């Protein structure tokens, strides 16, 4: 079974029930009541109401010290107490993609402190990043987070902090989907 390519299927049934779905920037996507995530392949699939495909890829910007810290504290998805999730597909602008790698890293890490801010919310928030840009998908990234109800307020605080950063000024499409495990 493939463990790097996943389909996120929006449908009428699935293991996660949608509690809210907001298009924060750019075109909305069709409302669905449930989402399921399945191991998949690059073969185009037309399942459910919509399917978004993402790949687990290598790190682009994280240096060794941060990587070691992340590996030491982060939790895996699927913890039984983490009954809430957020699925946030994101696209960044052409201006972002026209920057060089070192300029993008500077904006993410030096100016926006993405990892430093995020790290404060570990291990409570479990996270997974999927890349979609290079496979012709409508979003560049699919982000998935799982947390316990007791950490819901902290998750909102984290999002609020990240969305104020210079990095986010390059986000031109963002759909915020919240879920509860059923
Ligand atoms: C990328 C950490 C929360 C969206 C990254 C990277 C790290 C990181 C280390 C860089 C990966 C690389 O080197 O390629 C964290 C931590 C978080 C967190 C520790 C705490 C929970 C969030 C949240 C969002 C988010 C709440 C928003 C929905 C993204 C996106 C990328 C990314 C879209 C890819 C950016 C790009 O490659 O241009 N995150 N993150 N992260 N994160 Fe976070």
**Which pLDDT tens digit goes with each residue over 81-103?**
999 999 999 999 999 999 999 99
Q: Is the C-beta atom of 115 inside 6 A of ligand 1?
A: yes
ipTM value = 0.98
Between CA 105 and CA 113, with CA 108 as vertex, the angle to 5 degrees is 125
Q: Are 7 and 51 in contact (CB under 8 A)?
A: yes
If one residue of 99, 106, 127 were mutated to test the ligand 1 pocket, choosing by the most ligand atoms within 8 A of its CB, it would be 127
Coil vs helix vs strand at 22: strand
- Which residue's alpha carbon is at the smallest distance from atom 9 of ligand 1? 115
CATH number at residue 97: 3.30.70.3420
**Which pLDDT tens digit goes with each residue over 20-69?**
999 999 999 999 999 999 999 998 887 899 999 999 999 999 999 999 99
Integer Cα distance of 15 and 29 in angstroms = 20
- Total of domains in the chain: 1
Integer Cα distance of 97 and 155 in angstroms = 27
* Exposure on the CB side of residue 112, measured as CA atoms within 13 A: 23
Residue-number span of the structural domain to which 100 is assigned: 5-181
């Amino acid at each position: 079974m493939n463990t790097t390519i996943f389909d996120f299927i929006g449908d009428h049934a699935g293991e996660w029930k949608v509690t809210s779905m907001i298009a924060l920037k750019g075109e909305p996507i069709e409302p669905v009541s449930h989402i399921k995530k399945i191991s998949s392949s690059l073969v185009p699939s037309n399942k459910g109401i919509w399917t978004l495909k993402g790949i687990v890829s290598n790190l682009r910007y994280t240096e060794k010290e941060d990587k070691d810290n992340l590996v030491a504290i982060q939790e895996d998805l699927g913890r039984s107490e983490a009954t809430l999730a957020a699925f946030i597909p994101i696209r960044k602008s052409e201006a972002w993609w026209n920057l060089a790698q070192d300029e993008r890293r500077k904006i993410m890490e030096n100016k926006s402190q993405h990892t430093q801010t995020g790290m404060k919310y570990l291990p409570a928030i479990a996270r997974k990043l999927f890349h979609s840009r290079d496979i012709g998908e409508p979003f560049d990234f699919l982000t998935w987070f799982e947390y316990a109800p007791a950490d819901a307020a902290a998750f909102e605080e984290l999002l609020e902090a990240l969305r104020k950063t210079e990095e986010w000024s390059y986000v031109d499409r963002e759909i915020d989907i919240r879920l509860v495990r059923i």
